[in-house]
A and B are shown apart, each in its own frame.
Chain A
Amino acid sequence: AQRVTQPEKLLSVFKGAPVELKCNYSYSGSPELFWYVQYSRQRLQLLLRHISRESIKGFTADLNKGETSFHLKKPFAQEEDSAMYYCALGWANNLFFGTGTRLTVIP
């Protein structure tokens, strides 16, 4: 069965410090992985998807099939990055979400 694990409920980093939000998945096929973000008082929105291999707002995420991970990284955190981040696994047009990590960037 498909499963997404985000081990950290809360993560605090100082402005300018690197940040890594962890995501591990369990899925027998080829995974479709996403990061969604929810800023305060805003809708949940797509941040990036593994198939695009893109950098959005300075964030990148690499799919590591050997470690079944899709960690989200940014070299220098900004205050506006404070938000709730969800890793999600796509399957048959549905999304299976992890429990989320609340990132706080300390000025």
Chain B
Amino acid sequence: NAGVTQTPKFQVLKTGQSMTLQCAQDMNHEYMSWYRQDPGMGLRLIHYSVGAGITDQGEVPNGYNVSRSTTEDFPLRLLSAAPSQTSVYFCASSPPLGSYNEQFFGPGTRLTVL
């Protein structure tokens, strides 16, 4: 199993550009989520999904869209990038609903918005 994969690893955008960060998992996990990691702020939840076709907002959803058309994929879209979105983005997945399930993280995407 590849686990949780993310592409690209690095990306530089100009303000106003759009892009999609890809996330895929091959563990048949129902739950997937996106976090951003900023210095001194830890990881903050952006959006999450409890299954195909179901998404919801986390702590910091503004400026990001998600969709979940398949169990495997959970892309994160930036419609109009802003410098405040410069961050490292992590995707995570976990088995079916259950409070004590371990979350498995991807390697991260480092995004810089100029």
User: A: which residues have CB within 8 A of B?
Assistant: 4, 6, 9, 32, 43-46, 49, 51, 86, 90, 92-100
Residue pair A94, B100 in contact (C-beta under 8 Å): no
Residue pair A44, B90 in contact (C-beta under 8 Å): yes
Compute how far the CA of A49 lies from the CA of B94 in the bound complex, rounded to whole angstroms: 15
User: Other CB < 8 Å A-B pairs besides A49-B100, A93-B31, A97-B42, 20 of them?
Assistant: A4-B42, A9-B40, A32-B99, A32-B100, A43-B108, A45-B105, A46-B103, A86-B43, A90-B99, A93-B48, A93-B50, A93-B98, A94-B33, A94-B45, A94-B58, A95-B45, A96-B45, A97-B43, A97-B44, A99-B42
B33, B35, B42, B100: residue with the most chain A Cβ atoms closer than 10 Å: B42
User: B: which residues have CB within 8 A of A?
Assistant: 31, 33, 35, 40-45, 48, 50, 58-59, 90, 94, 97-103, 105-108
CB neighbours (8 Å) of A46 from chain B are: 102-103
How far, in Å, is A56 (CB) from chain B's closest CB? 12
How far, in Å, is A61 (CB) from chain B's closest CB? 14
Interface pairs (25), CB distance under 8 Å: A4-B42, A6-B42, A9-B40, A32-B99, A43-B105, A43-B106, A44-B90, A44-B105, A45-B105, A49-B100, A49-B102, A51-B100, A86-B42, A90-B99, A90-B100, A93-B94, A93-B98, A93-B99, A93-B101, A95-B45, A95-B103, A96-B59, A97-B35, A99-B41, A100-B42
